[in-house]
């Protein structure tokens, strides 16, 4: 039995999240079926992160076990030939049997894209959060800096979160502008359910002037999700990269979500 890791990118618009469901199309189920065709045996994949309905990925990592003997290039080309156009494998590597896509990860990076425009976009309707009005990225960045470090993130924890502890270590939060697009990049050792989208919702409230940057400090200290801003929609969220020990030598995520300069 061999274990393989694979890097994925997908447009989450037509998927009901990562995890296999009996009643809806999921990334995991579609991927399992495609790999099974190449392996000629049933396959079950495990992912670094379980993305929600409508959430995209350009740096998802999975692993699977198989007794089939195939060259790595045959796995890559064979799997992709059996996948729909909104899901693609970017690389395949054989890994030690103790490797686990989720538990071997050191950190994860998510990116969130906001399109700030007075009229809606036909092209980015499923790939960015389209907002009217002006957002001040400086205010948003100043607020986000208060979240860096190890904290109890209960104030940004979605209902139904099954994590045993709300404590996470946020390593990076950067807000950048490229024309009409605001890009928020967040890296942490782990994330709670809806944590990134709830952070983005709070930053958007501060960016539009409805709250001051230090409001996020009180929100964090209060540990009460009910006091926060509405959750940002899923279409702007991307699982951008999963970080592993350097000795694994995985390729970097190649794609960047609508990183446009205007």
Name the pTM for this structure. Answer: 0.94
| pLDDT tops 50 at residue 262 | no
Task: Note whether 180 and 115 are within 8 A (CB).
Answer: yes
Asked if residue 21 has pLDDT above 80, the reply is: yes
**Intra-chain end-to-end CA distance of the chain, in Å:** 50
Domains, the chain, ordered by start: 2-104 (3.30.70.580), 107-240 (3.30.70.660)
Provide the 8-state DSSP code for 261: -
Q: Is 136 a catalytic residue?
A: no
pLDDT: which is higher, 129 or 160: 129
Strand, coil or helix: 15: coil
> Which pair of tokens denotes residue 223?
């540990």
Give the span between the Cα atoms of 62 and 50, in whole angstroms: 10
Q: Provide DSSP, 191-216.
A: --TTHHHHHHHHHHHHHTTSS-TTHH
Mean pLDDT of the region 138-142: 97
pLDDT in tens, 23-71: 999 999 999 999 999 999 999 999 999 999 999 999 999 999 999 999 9
Q: Which of 238, 242, 240 shows the shortest CA–CA distance to 113?
A: 238
| pLDDT value of position 35 | 98
Q: Report the percentage of the chain scoring pLDDT > 70.
A: 97
Instruction: Tell me what pLDDT residue 160 has.
Output: 86
pLDDT level of residue 90 (50, 70, 90 thresholds): very high
Closest CA to 6 of 85, 72, 66, 104: 72
Determine how many CB atoms are found less than 10 A away from the CB of residue 85.
6
Of 52, 65, 152, 241, the active-site residue reads 52
Calculate mean pLDDT across residues 200-206: 97
Strands, E, within 67-194: which ranges?
87-95, 107-116, 129-131, 149-152, 167-178, 181-188
Where do runs of H (alpha helix) occur along the chain?
27-39, 72-81, 137-145, 195-207, 215-222
pLDDT value, residue 252: 81
Dihedral in degrees, nearest 10, Cα atoms 201, 162, 108, 158: 0
């Amino acid at each position: 039995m061999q274990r393989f890791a694979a890097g994925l990118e997908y447009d989450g618009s037509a998927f009901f999240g990562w995890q296999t469901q009996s009643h809806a199309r999921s990334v995991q189920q579609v991927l399992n079926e495609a790999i099974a065709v190449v392996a000629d045996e049933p396959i079950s994949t495990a992912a670094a992160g379980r993305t929600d309905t409508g959430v995209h990925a350009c740096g998802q990592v999975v692993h699977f076990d198989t007794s089939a003997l195939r060259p790595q290039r045959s796995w890559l080309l064979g799997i992709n030939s059996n996948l729909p156009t909104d899901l693609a494998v970017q690389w395949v590597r054989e890994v030690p049997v103790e490797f686990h896509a989720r538990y071997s990860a050191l950190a994860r990076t998510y990116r969130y894209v906001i399109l700030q425009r007075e009229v809606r976009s036909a092209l980015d309707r499923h790939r960015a959060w389209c907002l009217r009005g002006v957002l001040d990225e400086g205010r948003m960045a100043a607020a986000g800096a208060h979240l860096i470090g190890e904290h109890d993130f209960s104030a940004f924890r979605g209902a139904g979160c099954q994590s045993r502890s709300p404590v996470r270590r946020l390593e990076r939060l950067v807000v950048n502008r490229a024309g009409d697009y605001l890009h928020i990049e967040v890296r942490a050792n782990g994330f709670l359910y809806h944590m990134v989208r709830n952070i983005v919702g709070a930053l958007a409230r501060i960016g539009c002037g409805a709250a001051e940057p230090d409001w996020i400090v009180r929100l964090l200290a209060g540990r009460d999700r009910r006091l926060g801003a509405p959750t940002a929609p899923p279409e702007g969220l991307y699982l951008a990269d999963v970080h592993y020990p350097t000795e694994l030598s995985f390729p970097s995520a190649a794609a960047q979500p609508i990183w446009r300069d205007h």
